[in-house]
Chains A and B, each alone.
Chain A
Amino acid sequence: MTTALALSPAAALDFVPGAPPPATLRADIWRGIAAENPVLVQMLGMCPTMAVTNVLANGIAMGVATTFVLVGSGLFVSLLRKYIAHEVRITSYILIIATFVTLADLLLAASFPEISKALGPFIPLIVANCLLLGRAEAFAAKVGPVRAVADGMGMGIGFTLSLAAMSAIRELLGRGSLLGFDILGPHWEPWVFMVLPAGGFFTLGLLLITAAWIDELRRRRRALEAK
């Protein structure tokens, strides 16, 4: 079905140089969650990944805020892609992104003041998250609005899941709790290291090594089967 879409004359007219290959919407969403996960595979958006993941609630809030900005900016970049001159595109994307970041910042401050205070300047700093500019330039500017939104959703969900995983590990080991509820009981000696900045680097390092280990095991099994 996808090949038929690519070969139809209408699709050929809409062809943009460097555009991503046509795919189903489901593939667009899944790519951000697994194969091109922003944190674990692309290593983009490192600063919020480390800085706000000391407790689970903050990690999820940051993930949701980033998803909101990804979807909103993806939609608008895609809608305006034929009107934005090539020379000023980066500045225009930044302006679109900054508008949605300001919206997210104000919305969060109005509805969840404690979380907004805990995240502090890291919500406005979403502007400088290279994931957003990266998706705008590499994907949203080259495809229609529906695919751009799907890609933003996928990348946002992938980002939120990685942040949630990191912050769950760090909160559980560093405080013995999850979302503020005591899980490991009063006899648990908290690993203060995990909630310190050093723990952020360490947790992500371990996650990456684990992912590489799983990959390596799979590769070996495939090599065995090939023999």
Chain B
Amino acid sequence: MSNLAWIFVSTLLVNNFTLVMFLGLCSFFGVTAKIETAWRLGLANTFVLIITAVSAWILNTYILTRTPYLRTIAFIVVIASAVQIVEMAVKKYLPVLFRQLGIYLPLITTNCAILGLALFQTSRRYNFVEGLVFALGAGFGLTLALSLLASIRERMEVADVPVIARRMGLVLVAASCLSLAFMGFAGMGSQ
């Protein structure tokens, strides 16, 4: 497999951001009660991830070469502002898309998957194209994990479970099974 395709598949399945790397768990548990919202949140995430990859690459290449200790602060501020600007632009020029993404767009800024992507991209020294593919894989991986858990939770709503497991407990055990299923892809990286 070529390098780019490998980055995509690896982030999508083998090292899935949510189920294997534990990034973005707040939204994973917070907004997966309905499959519709989960799906939209996944798309909004993908969108922000791509903006993040571009911003992080620009920062890393041109600005942070001399001051690596400012990385965390610079990333979070630039990502937050970039998301804000894009949100305004989308609201003005693509109102339909804006209505679909809704409140999730600004909320995503403090999702750790976003900052995690920027940090991993830095530590793995991805170039511009590799970073974009990485962001795309991560975004689709998040969407996949969110929709899968949402589908399971919709089914669980009608299931007859003990009272004590009715809240988050059972959701976490279901997520554990889902994560275990994704471990099945783990062998793919070891050639």
Q: Which residues of A contact B (CB under 8 A)?
A: 43-44, 46-47, 50-51, 91, 94-95, 98-99, 101-102, 105-106, 120-121, 124-125, 127-130, 133, 193, 196-202, 204-206, 208-209, 212-213, 215-216
B179 near A47 with CB under 8 A, answer no
In the complex, what's the smallest C-beta–C-beta distance from B39 to chain A, in angstroms?
Answer: 21
- Neighbour of A212 across the interface among B20, B167, B180, CB < 8 A: B167
C-alpha spacing A204/B77, complex, angstroms: 32
Residues of B contacting A120 in the complex (Cβ-Cβ under 8 angstroms): 123
A129 B112 Cβ-Cβ under 8 A? yes
Minimal beta-carbon separation of B83 from chain A (angstroms)? 12
Binary per-residue interface labels of chain B (1-34) against chain A in the complex, 1 for a CB within 8 Å, 0 otherwise: 0000000000000000001111111101100000
- Cβ of B158 under 8 Å from chain A: no
Contact in complex: B76, A43 (CB < 8 Å): no
| Contacts A47-B112, A128-B110; A105 near B72 (Cβ below 8 A) | yes
Q: Indicate if the CB atoms of A47 and B23 lie closer than 8 Å.
A: yes
Q: Identify the closest chain A residue to B167 (Cβ).
A: A212
A125 to B119, CA, bound (A): 9
Which chain B residue has the least Cβ–Cβ distance from A212?
Answer: B164
Q: How many residues of B contact A (CB 8 A)?
A: 43
Known: A46-B22, A125-B115, A196-B180. 6 other contacts (CB 8 A): A43-B168, A106-B69, A124-B71, A127-B76, A130-B110, A198-B183
A212 touches B115 (CB 8 A): no
**Are A124 and B69 also in contact (CB < 8 A) when A43-B29, A47-B22 are?**
no
- Identify which of B114, B168, B169, B176 contacts A128 (C-beta below 8 A): B114
Contact A121-B116, Cβ < 8 Å, known A43-B29, A205-B169? yes
A124 to chain B, nearest CB (A): 4
Contact B172 A197 (CB under 8 A): no
Tell me which residues across on chain A come within 8 A of B123, comparing CB atoms: 120-121
> For A125, what are the chain B residues with a Cβ–Cβ distance below 8 Å?
23, 112, 115-116, 119
| Most chain A Cβ neighbours within 10 Å, of B28, B29, B123, B169 | B169
| A193 to B189 CA separation, bound complex (whole angstroms) | 19
A205 close to B112 (CB less than 8 A) = no
Complex contact B115–A127 (CB within 8 A)? yes
